[in-house]
Protein backbone atom coordinates (compact mmCIF):
# COMPACT_ATOMS: atom_id res chain seq x y z
CA UNK A 1 0.00 0.00 0.00
CA UNK A 2 1.28 3.43 -0.98
CA UNK A 3 0.32 6.06 1.61
CA UNK A 4 0.57 9.81 1.08
CA UNK A 5 0.62 11.84 4.28
CA UNK A 6 -0.45 15.29 3.16
CA UNK A 7 -2.51 18.46 3.44
CA UNK A 8 -4.88 19.24 0.58
CA UNK A 9 -3.88 22.90 0.18
CA UNK A 10 -0.15 22.25 0.48
CA UNK A 11 1.57 23.03 -2.83
CA UNK A 12 4.15 20.35 -2.14
CA UNK A 13 1.46 17.74 -1.48
CA UNK A 14 -0.36 18.87 -4.63
CA UNK A 15 2.82 18.21 -6.66
CA UNK A 16 3.10 14.66 -5.38
CA UNK A 17 -0.59 13.95 -6.03
CA UNK A 18 -0.12 15.09 -9.62
CA UNK A 19 2.93 12.87 -10.07
CA UNK A 20 1.18 9.84 -8.57
CA UNK A 21 -1.79 10.41 -10.88
CA UNK A 22 0.42 10.83 -13.95
CA UNK A 23 2.21 7.59 -13.10
CA UNK A 24 -1.04 5.75 -12.44
CA UNK A 25 0.02 4.81 -8.91
CA UNK A 26 -2.88 4.05 -6.58
CA UNK A 27 -2.43 5.44 -3.09
CA UNK A 28 -4.19 6.08 0.19
CA UNK A 29 -4.31 9.68 1.39
CA UNK A 30 -3.93 10.55 5.06
CA UNK A 31 -4.62 14.22 5.65
CA UNK A 32 -3.27 16.46 8.41
CA UNK A 33 -4.48 19.94 9.25
CA UNK A 34 -1.43 22.18 9.20
CA UNK A 35 -3.46 25.07 10.56
CA UNK A 36 -4.38 22.95 13.59
CA UNK A 37 -0.76 21.88 14.04
CA UNK A 38 -1.37 18.17 13.49
CA UNK A 39 2.03 17.90 11.79
CA UNK A 40 3.62 18.59 15.18
CA UNK A 41 2.06 15.54 16.84
CA UNK A 42 4.36 12.78 18.14
CA UNK A 43 2.92 10.38 15.60
CA UNK A 44 3.75 12.61 12.68
CA UNK A 45 7.20 13.33 14.09
CA UNK A 46 7.98 9.64 13.66
CA UNK A 47 7.01 9.90 9.99
CA UNK A 48 8.97 13.05 9.25
CA UNK A 49 11.19 14.75 11.84
CA UNK A 50 11.00 17.97 9.80
CA UNK A 51 7.24 18.06 10.57
CA UNK A 52 6.40 18.90 6.98
CA UNK A 53 4.11 17.42 4.35
CA UNK A 54 4.15 15.51 2.16
CA UNK A 55 5.58 12.22 3.34
CA UNK A 56 5.16 9.23 1.05
CA UNK A 57 5.28 5.65 2.29
CA UNK A 58 6.23 3.44 -0.64
CA UNK A 59 8.33 0.31 -1.18
CA UNK A 60 9.15 0.14 2.53
CA UNK A 61 10.48 3.71 2.47
CA UNK A 62 9.33 6.98 4.00
CA UNK A 63 10.17 9.75 1.59
CA UNK A 64 9.89 13.48 2.25
CA UNK A 65 10.57 16.64 0.22
CA UNK A 66 8.30 16.70 -2.82
CA UNK A 67 11.05 17.07 -5.43
CA UNK A 68 12.93 14.08 -4.02
CA UNK A 69 9.68 12.10 -3.87
CA UNK A 70 8.88 12.88 -7.51
CA UNK A 71 12.41 11.99 -8.60
CA UNK A 72 11.97 8.60 -6.90
CA UNK A 73 8.60 8.09 -8.58
CA UNK A 74 10.11 9.03 -11.94
CA UNK A 75 12.82 6.41 -11.54
CA UNK A 76 10.45 3.79 -10.13
CA UNK A 77 7.67 4.40 -12.68
CA UNK A 78 9.41 5.87 -15.76
CA UNK A 79 6.30 6.32 -17.91
CA UNK A 80 5.57 9.13 -18.41
CA UNK A 81 9.01 10.57 -17.83
CA UNK A 82 8.88 13.84 -15.90
CA UNK A 83 12.63 14.49 -15.67
CA UNK A 84 14.48 14.17 -18.99
CA UNK A 85 17.43 11.83 -19.26
CA UNK A 86 19.34 14.21 -21.55
CA UNK A 87 21.66 16.25 -19.27
CA UNK A 88 20.89 19.63 -20.86
CA UNK A 89 17.13 19.07 -20.97
CA UNK A 90 17.23 17.71 -17.43
CA UNK A 91 19.00 20.83 -16.17
CA UNK A 92 16.45 23.11 -17.83
CA UNK A 93 13.50 21.26 -16.30
CA UNK A 94 15.07 21.07 -12.85
CA UNK A 95 16.00 24.77 -12.91
CA UNK A 96 12.39 25.76 -13.66
CA UNK A 97 11.08 23.43 -10.97
CA UNK A 98 13.54 24.76 -8.41
CA UNK A 99 12.73 28.37 -9.34
CA UNK A 100 9.33 27.53 -7.88
CA UNK A 101 10.13 24.97 -5.21
CA UNK A 102 13.12 26.87 -3.76
CA UNK A 103 12.63 30.54 -4.60
CA UNK A 104 8.84 31.08 -4.43
CA UNK A 105 7.19 28.39 -2.33
CA UNK A 106 9.40 28.44 0.81
CA UNK A 107 8.93 32.18 1.23
CA UNK A 108 5.15 32.05 1.24
CA UNK A 109 4.13 28.70 2.66
CA UNK A 110 1.84 28.52 5.68
CA UNK A 111 4.48 28.22 8.41
CA UNK A 112 6.32 31.32 7.16
CA UNK A 113 3.11 33.36 6.93
CA UNK A 114 2.05 32.23 10.40
CA UNK A 115 5.46 33.15 11.82
CA UNK A 116 5.23 36.62 10.29
CA UNK A 117 1.84 37.11 11.89
CA UNK A 118 2.13 35.25 15.21
CA UNK A 119 5.79 35.73 16.15
CA UNK A 120 6.75 38.91 14.31
CA UNK A 121 3.48 40.69 15.02
CA UNK A 122 2.84 41.59 11.39
CA UNK A 123 -0.66 42.41 10.22
CA UNK A 124 -2.55 40.40 7.63
CA UNK A 125 -1.99 43.29 5.21
CA UNK A 126 1.78 43.13 5.66
CA UNK A 127 1.75 39.35 5.42
CA UNK A 128 -0.17 39.54 2.13
CA UNK A 129 2.27 42.13 0.78
CA UNK A 130 5.10 39.73 1.60
CA UNK A 131 3.33 36.90 -0.21
CA UNK A 132 2.53 39.04 -3.24
CA UNK A 133 6.07 40.39 -3.56
CA UNK A 134 7.74 36.98 -3.73
CA UNK A 135 5.16 35.46 -6.06
CA UNK A 136 5.52 38.35 -8.50
CA UNK A 137 9.32 38.15 -8.32
CA UNK A 138 9.22 34.46 -9.16
CA UNK A 139 6.51 34.64 -11.81
CA UNK A 140 8.25 37.55 -13.54
CA UNK A 141 11.38 35.45 -13.92
CA UNK A 142 9.42 32.46 -15.21
CA UNK A 143 7.47 34.59 -17.69
CA UNK A 144 10.76 35.86 -19.11
CA UNK A 145 12.08 32.30 -19.39
CA UNK A 146 8.92 31.04 -21.10
CA UNK A 147 8.93 33.92 -23.60
CA UNK A 148 12.58 33.34 -24.47
CA UNK A 149 12.00 29.77 -25.64
CA UNK A 150 9.95 28.31 -28.50
CA UNK A 151 6.22 28.20 -27.87
CA UNK A 152 6.00 24.73 -26.43
CA UNK A 153 2.74 23.27 -25.21
CA UNK A 154 4.10 23.02 -21.69
CA UNK A 155 6.79 24.57 -19.52
CA UNK A 156 9.82 22.86 -21.04
CA UNK A 157 8.52 21.20 -24.18
CA UNK A 158 5.51 19.50 -25.70
CA UNK A 159 5.21 16.94 -22.92
CA UNK A 160 4.52 17.38 -19.21
CA UNK A 161 7.58 17.65 -16.98
CA UNK A 162 8.51 18.28 -13.38
CA UNK A 163 8.37 22.01 -14.18
CA UNK A 164 4.62 21.81 -14.90
CA UNK A 165 4.06 19.65 -11.83
CA UNK A 166 5.52 22.49 -9.74
CA UNK A 167 3.97 25.35 -11.70
CA UNK A 168 0.30 24.39 -11.48
CA UNK A 169 0.10 24.18 -7.66
CA UNK A 170 1.95 27.49 -7.32
CA UNK A 171 -0.44 29.28 -9.67
CA UNK A 172 -3.38 27.63 -7.93
CA UNK A 173 -2.30 29.08 -4.59
CA UNK A 174 -1.45 32.46 -6.11
CA UNK A 175 -5.03 32.71 -7.35
CA UNK A 176 -6.32 31.76 -3.91
CA UNK A 177 -4.49 34.88 -2.67
CA UNK A 178 -5.93 36.98 -5.50
CA UNK A 179 -2.59 37.55 -7.21
CA UNK A 180 -3.06 39.54 -10.43
CA UNK A 181 -1.90 37.35 -13.33
CA UNK A 182 -2.28 39.76 -16.27
CA UNK A 183 1.47 40.35 -16.50
CA UNK A 184 2.10 36.65 -17.10
CA UNK A 185 0.21 35.62 -20.25
CA UNK A 186 2.65 32.93 -21.38
CA UNK A 187 2.89 31.44 -17.89
CA UNK A 188 -0.90 31.50 -17.58
CA UNK A 189 -1.31 29.79 -20.96
CA UNK A 190 1.10 27.00 -20.05
CA UNK A 191 -0.50 26.61 -16.64
CA UNK A 192 -4.03 26.42 -18.05
CA UNK A 193 -3.06 23.74 -20.54
CA UNK A 194 -1.42 21.57 -17.89
CA UNK A 195 -4.06 22.19 -15.22
CA UNK A 196 -6.78 20.94 -17.57
CA UNK A 197 -5.23 17.47 -17.86
CA UNK A 198 -7.07 14.76 -15.87
CA UNK A 199 -4.11 13.96 -13.61
CA UNK A 200 -3.93 17.61 -12.55
CA UNK A 201 -7.69 18.08 -12.22
CA UNK A 202 -8.00 15.02 -9.98
CA UNK A 203 -5.11 16.23 -7.80
CA UNK A 204 -6.51 19.73 -7.24
CA UNK A 205 -8.06 20.31 -3.79
CA UNK A 206 -10.72 22.76 -5.00
CA UNK A 207 -11.14 25.09 -7.91
CA UNK A 208 -9.68 28.58 -7.34
CA UNK A 209 -12.21 31.37 -7.17
CA UNK A 210 -10.56 33.40 -9.93
Instruction: Tell me the per-residue pLDDT of 30-48, one tens digit each, with 9 for 90 and over.
Output: 999 888 888 888 888 888 9
Pick one of 3.30.450.270, 3.30.70.980, 3.40.30.10, 3.20.20.140 as the CATH number of 3-76: 3.40.30.10
CATH 1.20.1050.10 placement within the chain:
87-197
> Is the overall model pTM greater than 0.85, yes or no?
yes
**What pLDDT is attached to residue 210?**
37
**What pLDDT is attached to residue 94?**
98
**What pLDDT is attached to residue 45?**
86
CATH 3.40.30.10 placement within the chain:
3-76
**What pLDDT is attached to residue 200?**
98
Neighbours of 133 (CB within 10 A): 12
| DSSP three-state, residue 186 | helix
Q: State in words which class domain 87-197 has.
A: mainly alpha
Residue ranges in the chain whose pLDDT is less than 70 = 207-210
**What pLDDT is attached to residue 46?**
87
| DSSP three-state, residue 3 | strand
**What pLDDT is attached to residue 209?**
41
The secondary structure of 42-74, three-state, reads HHHHHHCCCCCCCEEEECCEEEECHHHHHHHHH
Quote the CA–CA distance of 80 and 93 in Å, as a whole number. Answer: 15
Quote the CA–CA distance of 197 and 203 in Å, as a whole number. Answer: 10
Amino acid sequence: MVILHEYALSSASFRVRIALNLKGVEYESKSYSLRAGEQRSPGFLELNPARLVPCLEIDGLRLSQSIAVIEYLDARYPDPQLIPSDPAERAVVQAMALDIACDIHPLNNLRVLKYLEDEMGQSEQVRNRWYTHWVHAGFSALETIFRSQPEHQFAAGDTISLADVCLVPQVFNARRYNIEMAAYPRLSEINARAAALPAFVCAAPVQPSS
